Structure 1
Amino acid sequence: MATPLTADALVAALRAEGVTVVEHPGWRTHNRDHIGPWGPVNGVIVHHTVSSGTEASVELCYNGYAALPGPLCHGVIAKDGTVHLVGNGRANHAGGGDPDVLAHVIAEDYGERPPAPRYHEGSAGAVDGNARFYGFECVNLGDGKDPWPAAQLDAIERASAAVCRAHGWTARSVIGHLEWSDWKVDPRGFTMPAMRTRIAARLGAAPVPPASSPPATPRHQPFPGAAFFAVGRNSPVITAMGRRLVAEGCSAYAVGPGPRWTEADRRSYAAWQRKLGYRGADADGIPGPVSWAALNVPYTA
């Protein structure tokens, strides 16, 4: 058993393990602690989102829905390997599960797999997993056909290892949702024994520190809100955004970019959203907080 990591400690652990982290606005105080306990913690549960598109999946996991308010996990692992932090504290991700599984996770004494679960949310004797586990939701349709890119699997390995290393746990402290509840099938598309083998190998060696101190992090423009990007808006922020879009190979500009929001800006930003993996209505060309954070628009006074 362990005391949950602070927000700063979690970010530091993930980055030390080589994880690319995006901090969703408000994640550090976003939790369900008023509903029940958070901690002591005993492990990590890996899920799939049954959704597509990074931005839509992150927003879903941050906000939740009427029957299950957010956060629905602590971090969302996108297909490009980026980990988007959406919650810090108790999250609605694990639900009720098997007390025998929990005992073996705490002891870290099982073989290839923990014992098959016999409990689920609402069943008599189920244990509250939301109090005991960190949760990572991985963007995937969960149909067994949606691919798991190498970058995403690497991020699952690294993020899980980061939490384990911070707490002094082994890879047996990482389980899939299907190993916790007899109602669940996630994650589908890779096996947890294979993932634990990867995590164990990573934990067998210390993270490699950078060769030299990294340069100071540049200041990036905070997300000004979707309503900012409207016809008639004139701002140096739009120029800075356009230059970043050009640098990312997402230009639909005939001339420019310039400070006034135009259709060329919208089409250029839509190209950026598609580059991030968004499709359909998720790639409408109107900036959202996740895609904006990924663009790293330089700060404009």
Structure 2
Amino acid sequence: MATPLSATAVLTALRAEGVRVVEVGNWRTHNRNSKGAWGPVNGSIVHHTVTRGTASTVAMCRTGYASLPGPLCHGVIAKDGRVHVVGWGRTNHAGGGDARVLDQVVAESYGSRPTPPTKGNANGTDGNARFYGWECENLGDGKDPWPAAQYDAIVRVQAALCRAHGWTAKSVIGHLEWSADKIDPRGFSMAHLRADVAERLKHSANWSPGGKDEPTAPAPAKPTTPKPRPYAPPRFPAGLAPGRQSPSARGLQRALKKAGHMSAAIPEADTYGPATQAAVARFHQAHPAYRARGVHYDPAVGPRGWAALHTIAYGGKK
């Protein structure tokens, strides 16, 4: 058993382990301590959120919802590996669980996993008082991936707590190992996670699996801005001519409307009719290349006119 770490102590432990921490609002004093005990702590529970999107997930875990007020955990481990700390103290994350599992975690006496729980939220032991809780951003459907940066952060967070308290990796369990009501986390096994935490605990806090000790986690690569490709107009539909219906004139009409030569109120049609012919003529009269050639009224469009019109309409060039 152990006294819970202070907010300052847990920040120090996490950062020493190379965790990228984001402090959210008044997290140091945001808790449910008025509703029950907080401590002694015996371990740490890993959860998944069944959500998508870091910002909304962090907001939900911080404030909770009508039937379950926040905070719903101590920190949210996001897809990018950042850990958003949202509360410190008692939080609504573990609910009721199996007392036999608690005993095994306290003694760190089980094999590859604790005894499967038979108690749950309605009839179990209060886990909110006895465990740290970490929500991991994931849909929890067994298909949503766990990016390497996120999984590495999960390992580092659990190792930081174990190192600070002098625990082994057996003090880290999944929610499904605590409560008969739960299935989280899905997508990796807790036995595998504990093995990775145990491996990390063999080394110093700033150890990197690449073999070099580093003071912090590797910085993410700077995003690169791809060079925009030049606009390529669609191929001219051979046979498009005034008065014809095949091929359809709809693509021509859309480009004319986009370029401002045809009223949007005119409905699209397959026929290259009088309204389309007049709009093509207006395009020719407005285009410098046609004006230079002395074109005054030309209702027909060919491959070069088609390409010029579409580039003006969709390519951002005039």
TM-score under structure 1 normalisation? 0.69
* 1:190 corresponding residue in structure 2: 188
Structure 1 distance, partners of 2:181, 2:132, is 19
Q: What is the 5 A alignment of 1:168-179?
A: 168-179=166-177
1:8 aligns with 8
User: CA–CA distance in 2 between the matches of 1:208 and 1:140?
Assistant: 27
Corresponding residue of 2:51:
51
Higher gyration radius (CA): 2
Which of structure 1's runs of 4+ aligned residues deviate more than 4 A?
A: 209-214, 247-250
For each residue in 1:129-152, what CA deviation from the matched residue of structure 2 results, as whole angstroms up to 9, or x when unmatched? 000000000000000010000111
Code of the residue aligned with 1:90 in structure 2: it is R
What is the aligned partner in structure 2 of residue 156 from structure 1? 154
Offset of residue 206 of structure 1: 1.5
SS at match of 1:40: coil
Aligned partners of 1:170 and 1:213: how far apart in 2?
Answer: 23
Question: Any conservation in 1 of the 2:206–2:214 contact (CA below 8 Å)?
Answer: no
8 Å Cα contact 2:76/2:136 also seen in 1: yes
Q: 1:37 deviation in Å?
A: 0.4
Task: Flag structure 1 segments of 5+ consecutive residues without an equivalent.
Answer: 215-246, 251-301
Q: Is the 8 A contact 2:18 2:215 kept in 1?
A: no
Query: What does 1:58-69 align with in structure 2 at a 5 Å threshold?
Result: 58-69=58-69
Aligned residue number for residue 93 of structure 1: 93
Partner-residue secondary structure (3-state), 1:187: coil
Letter in 2 for 1:113: R
Identity percentage of aligned residues: 63
The verdict on how the C-alpha distance between 1:74 and 1:212 changes in structure 2, with shifts beyond 3 A counting, is: closer
The residue that corresponds to 2:73 in the other structure is: 73
Q: Structure 2 length normalisation: TM-score?
A: 0.66
Partner of residue 166, structure 1: 164
2:144 and 2:156 map into 1 onto residues whose CA distance is 21
Matched pairs, number:
217
Determine if contact 2:43/2:130 at 8 Å carries over to the other structure: yes
Structure showing greater relative contact order (alpha-carbon pairs closer than 8 Å, 6 or more residues apart): 1
Separation in structure 2 between the aligned mates of residue 183 and residue 82 of structure 1, nearest angstrom: 28
CA–CA separation in structure 1 for the residues paired with 2:70 and 2:141: 23
Distance 1:26 1:208 in 2: 28
2:33 is aligned to 33
What amino acid is aligned across from residue 177 of structure 1 in structure 2?
H
Gap regions ≥5 residues in structure 2: 217-221, 226-318
Q: In structure 1, what is the Cα distance between the partners aligned to 2:199 and 2:147?
A: 20
Sort the Cα spacing of 1:59 and 1:182 in 2 relative to 1 into closer, same or farther, 3 A: same
Instruction: Give the match's secondary structure for 2:188.
Output: coil
Measure, in 2, the Cα distance between the counterparts of 1:149 and 1:212. 21
Displacement after TM superposition at 1:249 (Å): 6.2
Determine the C-alpha separation between the residues in 2 that align with 1:132 and 1:56: 27
RMSD: 1.9
- C-alpha displacement at 1:167, in angstroms? 0.5
Alignment of structure 1 residues 133-152 onto 2, 5 Å: 133-152=131-150
